[in-house]
Chain A
Amino acid sequence: AQSVSQHNHHVILSEAASLELGCNYSYGGTVNLFWYVQYPGQHLQLLLKYFSGDPLVKGIKGFEAEFIKSKFSFNLRKPSVQWSDTAEYFCAVSYTGGFKTIFGAGTRLFVKA
């Protein structure tokens, strides 16, 4: 079955630290890749997406992600986190031609001020 694996369930960082959240998906064809973020008390919203082209994609609030096809990975990065980045982050994959999007279990990030 298709699946998405997020490497860390909980991450605690100090402000200004660099962030990298791992995401791997199972092999299955041509993929569309997403990172969503859920701030406390808010709905899930799109952080960034990859469909094709440049494997390094930039999203909102200084986040970026790199698609490495050979590793089936789509890791999320931010060079310097802020307290306001405290949230839960979900990696997600959909397969071209399909209806479903498969979500990872989520990573809870807590940034200490």
Chain B
Amino acid sequence: DVKVTQSSRYLVKRTGEKVFLECVQDMDHENMFWYRQDPGLGLRLIYFSYDVKMKEKGDIPEGYSVSREKKERFSLILESASTNQTSMYLCASTFSSNQPQHFGDGTRLSIL
């Protein structure tokens, strides 16, 4: 069974800090995604990656960057955390868009 592991379930950081969220998948999937989930807004795509070192902006990339140095790992970086980035962050992976995405448990990030 596919396993997508996010490094933290809960994280509390301060405004202005640089924040790293890590995600690892164990199924050799080509595509990986970072979403944020907010009540009433569903899942909004921040960034995605379709191969090592390749990345594409999603719908809300401002204030975020990503890194994919290895196929199994996709990192989300908040360059200078702000309170409006308090949210649930979900990582997902899939072999192709024709296949379902597999999600991690999520990281609930609070920026104080």
Contacts and interface: CB of A to CB of B under 8 A. Distances in A.
A44 to B, nearest CB: 4
Contact of B98 (A32, A43, A90, A100): A32
Interface string B41-59: 1111100101000001010
A16 B53 CA distance: 50
A101 B97 CA distance: 7
Contacts of A99: 31, 48, 50, 56, 97
Which of A6, A90, A95, A106 has the most C-beta atoms of chain B within 10 angstroms of its own C-beta?
Answer: A106
Contacts of A36: 100, 103
B41 A105 contact: yes
Contact of B97 (A43, A45, A96, A105): A96
B109 interface: no
Interface residues of B, number: 24
Nearest to A47: B100
Contacts of A97: 97
B43 A43 contact: no
A36 B100 CA distance: 9
Nearest to B30: A99
B101 interface: yes
Nearest to A6: B42
B104 A43 contact: yes
Interface string B36-79: 00001111110010100000101000000000000000000000
Given A32-B97, A43-B106, A45-B103, A100 B45 contact: yes
Contacts of A22: none
Nearest to A34: B100
B24 interface: no
Interface of B: 4, 31, 33, 35, 40-45, 48, 50, 56, 58, 90, 92, 97-98, 100-101, 103-106
Given A46-B100, A100-B45, 6 more contacts: A34-B100, A42-B105, A43-B106, A49-B100, A90-B43, A100-B58
